[in-house]
Amino acid sequence: MPPTSFSCSFFTLQPRFNSYVNPIFRSLSFQLSSSPLPFNAHFSSIRLRSSLSRPAETDSPTGGRSGALTPGPSVGADVQKIDVNPPKGTRDFPPEDMRLRNWLFNHFKEVSRLYGFEEVDYPVLESEALFTRKAGEEIKDQLYCFEDRGNRRVALRPELTPSLARLVIQKGKSVPLPIKWFTVGQCWRYERMTRGRRREHYQWNMDIIGVPGVMAEAELLSSIVTLFKRIGITESDVGFKVSSRKVLQEVLNCYSVPEHLFGKVCVIIDKIEKIPVDEIKKELKAVGLSQEAVQKLLQVLSVKSLEELEERLGSSGEAIADLKQLFSLAEKIGFSKWLQFDASVVRGLAYYTGIVFEAYQHSHAQPQLSHAHPQGFDREGKLRAICGGGRYDHLFSTFGADDIAACGFGFGDAVIVELLKEKGLLPELNLNVDDIVCALDEDLQGRAAMVANILREKGHSVELVLESKQLKWVFKRAARVNAERLVLVGNSEWQRGVVGVKILSTAEQYEIKLDDLK
C-alpha cells in the first residue's frame, strides 16, 4: 500500500499530536537550518537539565537498580564513598569514546581483511614465563603479575606476539604455512605514563609466519601505510624509521662481543633517544663492551643513509642486502616516501633478529624526507612511537620449539588517537538511529514495542520510548539520537491497522499499514 497522508481522524482523535508536532517540528527545523552550531549543540542544555533532574541510579540492596537520589540505608559509620575514577593509567569508554574506539578498530580489521589476514585472539591472562625469556628486558619490570590460587605465576599480557607464538606451537602442523593472522587486543604494562602512553591499551597486531624473505616486511609496512591513508594521515605527518638488527650484530662481531650480550646491548641502544649519550656509553661498558667497541657502535648507529652504511660495513653483509631489497620493494609498491633509514632503530625486545621499524610523527619544522636524508622526525618526545615491529625468526626456539621465519608489528590505539586529535582528523561520530517509536497513549505501549520489534527484525536501529512522554519530549529525544523517522502509535490508527510516520528531515507525514512498514 503506498503511503498516504494522515487522515483527519488521526488529528481529531489525537489532539496531542496536532498541538505538539507541527509547532515543535517547525521550531526545531528553523533552529537546525539557521544556526551555525553543530546539530547536537542545540540540545546540550536540554541534556544537561535532564541529567540534573534525573534521579541518580544506584545499586539497590536486592541487586537491581534504585531511582533514589540519596543513597540507601547506611550499613555503618565507617562506610566510605568509592573513588569513581578508573585506576591510574586505565580508561573508561563512555558512549562517545566507544564510538571512536569502534571506528578505529573497524579500520584495523578492514585493512587486515584487505590484506588477507585472519583474526585470532588469546587470553588476557597468560603464564608469566611467556614474557620473561631474556634478562635485562624492560618489559620484565612492567608486568602486572601475581600468583593465582593454584600457585601458578601468571601475568596480564603486556604484548601479543608471545601469545601468537604459543598458539602457533600449539596448533603445530595442523595450520599450513604461511600463517597470516591479526588481532586487536588489550595489553597491560606498569610503566611511567606520558602523552599517548598508558598502563592499559589496545593493540593491533599483524603477523606473517613462515615467510623468510623481506617481502613479508614490505607487506606489513604497506598495510600500515594503507591504514594511515584511510584515516587521513599522510607521509608528511608520519614516517617509518627502518633498520636491521643485523647491522648491530655485524658491528659486535667485529669486536668479538659474545652472543649472549646481544639482547642486552639492544635494550640499551633502544634508549638512545630517551637518555643522554654518556649514560648509553656507561651502560654499554657495564655489560662488557670495550671502549673501542662502544665508540665504533655509536658511530654506526648515527648513520642515516644506506649509502653511508655501505661505506662503513661494506656491501657483502646480509643487513645491507635486506635493507636494499626492502627499499626497492617499497619503491615498486609505492610507499618509499614513507621510509627513512636510521641505524639507531633496534627495538627493545630481545627476540627481533632482522629488519626492524618504527613509525614516528614528522617534526613540523622539516619537510617530508626519504631514507637518504638524516632529519624529519619529531625528536621532542611529544608522542611515543605510533607503531613498531620487525622480524623475529628465533622466537619459537625460546619456547622449546623449532624456529620458524616470522615477522609482525604492534600498533597501539592511544598514540594514534592523540595524533588524530592534534591534526584535527577525529571524525564526528554521533549516535544515530533509524526510527524512534512512541505510543500516544499509555495503554498502547505494548503495541508500540511490537512495532519497534517489527522494524528491528527488518534491520532498523530503533529507539522505543519506554515511558509515557509528551510529544515535545519525544521530538527533543529524536533530535538527540539523530533519528530519521518518528513512528507514532495511536488508538484509532491501530484499530485501522496503521501507524503514523513523520520523516524528520523533511516534515513529510503519512499513515502506513503495519505490513507495509519498512
**Of 370 and 197, which is predicted with more confidence?**
197
pLDDT tens digit string along 103-114?
999 999 999 999
Q: What is the mean pLDDT of residues 376-391?
A: 69
Question: What pLDDT score does 468 carry?
Answer: 92
Q: 227: Cβ–Cβ under 8 A, 6 or more apart, which residues?
A: 107, 108, 111, 411
352 has binding-site annotation = yes
C-beta separation of 196 from 225 below 8 A? no
**Of 382 and 292, which is predicted with more confidence?**
292
217 has binding-site annotation = no
**Of 40 and 130, which is predicted with more confidence?**
130
Q: What is the mean pLDDT of residues 150-165?
A: 95
- Measured from the Cβ of residue 170, the count of other Cβ atoms closer than 10 Å reads 10
Task: Name the residue among 408, 386, 387, 406 with its Cα closest to residue 396.
Answer: 406
Task: Name the residue among 136, 434, 424 with its Cα closest to residue 268.
Answer: 136
pLDDT tens digit string along 116-125?
999 999 999 9
Asked whether the bond before 178 is cis by omega within 30 degrees of 0, the reply is yes
70 has binding-site annotation = no
Question: What pLDDT score does 413 carry?
Answer: 95
d(Cα 516, Cα 518) in Å, to the nearest integer? Answer: 6
C-beta separation of 72 from 60 below 8 A? yes
375 has binding-site annotation = no
- Measured from the Cβ of residue 368, the count of other Cβ atoms closer than 10 Å reads 16
pLDDT tens digit string along 211-255?
999 999 999 999 999 999 999 999 999 999 999 989 888 888 877
- Which position has the grid cell 517540528? 25
pLDDT at 379 over 70: no
**DSSP single-letter state for residue 452:** H
Question: What pLDDT score does 37 carry?
Answer: 39
**DSSP single-letter state for residue 197:** B
Which residue type occupies 71? P
**Of 492 and 24, which is predicted with more confidence?**
492
pLDDT at 56 over 60: no
- Which position has the grid cell 662488557? 288
List strands edge to edge, sheet with 509-513.
462-464, 435-439, 485-489, 498-503, 509-513
d(Cα 197, Cα 13) in Å, to the nearest integer? Answer: 61
Let me know if 449 is exposed, middle or buried by CB neighbors in 10 A (0-12, 13-18, 19+).
Answer: middle
- Which position has the grid cell 618526545? 381
160 has binding-site annotation = yes
d(Cα 439, Cα 130) in Å, to the nearest integer? Answer: 58
Please tell me whether residue 252 adopts helix, strand or coil conformation.
helix
Q: 258: Cβ–Cβ under 8 A, 6 or more apart, which residues?
A: 288
pLDDT tens digit string along 15-47?
444 444 454 444 444 343 443 434 343 333 333
Task: Name the residue among 188, 209, 206 with its Cα closest to residue 197.
Answer: 188
186 has binding-site annotation = no
Give the global pTM: 0.79
Which residue type occupies 6? F
189 has binding-site annotation = yes
pLDDT at 177 over 70: yes
Question: What pLDDT score does 213 carry?
Answer: 95
161 has binding-site annotation = yes
pLDDT tens digit string along 78-87?
788 899 999 9
Looking at the chain, the whole-number percentage of residues with pLDDT higher than 70 is 79
The C-alpha angle 86, 89, 90, rounded to 5 degrees, equals 45
159 has binding-site annotation = yes
pLDDT tens digit string along 57-71?
444 444 444 444 455
Question: What pLDDT score does 226 carry?
Answer: 98
Name the pLDDT band for 287 (thresholds 50, 70, 90). confident
As a residue count, the chain comes to 518
Query: Any long-range contacts for 360-369 (C-beta under 8 Å, 24+ apart)?
Result: 360/238, 360/239, 360/240, 360/241, 360/385, 360/386, 361/237, 361/238, 361/386, 361/419, 362/236, 362/237, 362/238, 362/239, 367/236, 368/235, 368/236, 368/239, 368/337, 369/239, 369/340
Task: Name the residue among 284, 288, 285 with its Cα closest to residue 258.
Answer: 288
Let me know if 394 is exposed, middle or buried by CB neighbors in 10 A (0-12, 13-18, 19+).
Answer: middle
d(Cα 433, Cα 464) in Å, to the nearest integer? Answer: 11
d(Cα 382, Cα 350) in Å, to the nearest integer? Answer: 26
Q: What is the mean pLDDT of residues 488-504?
A: 96
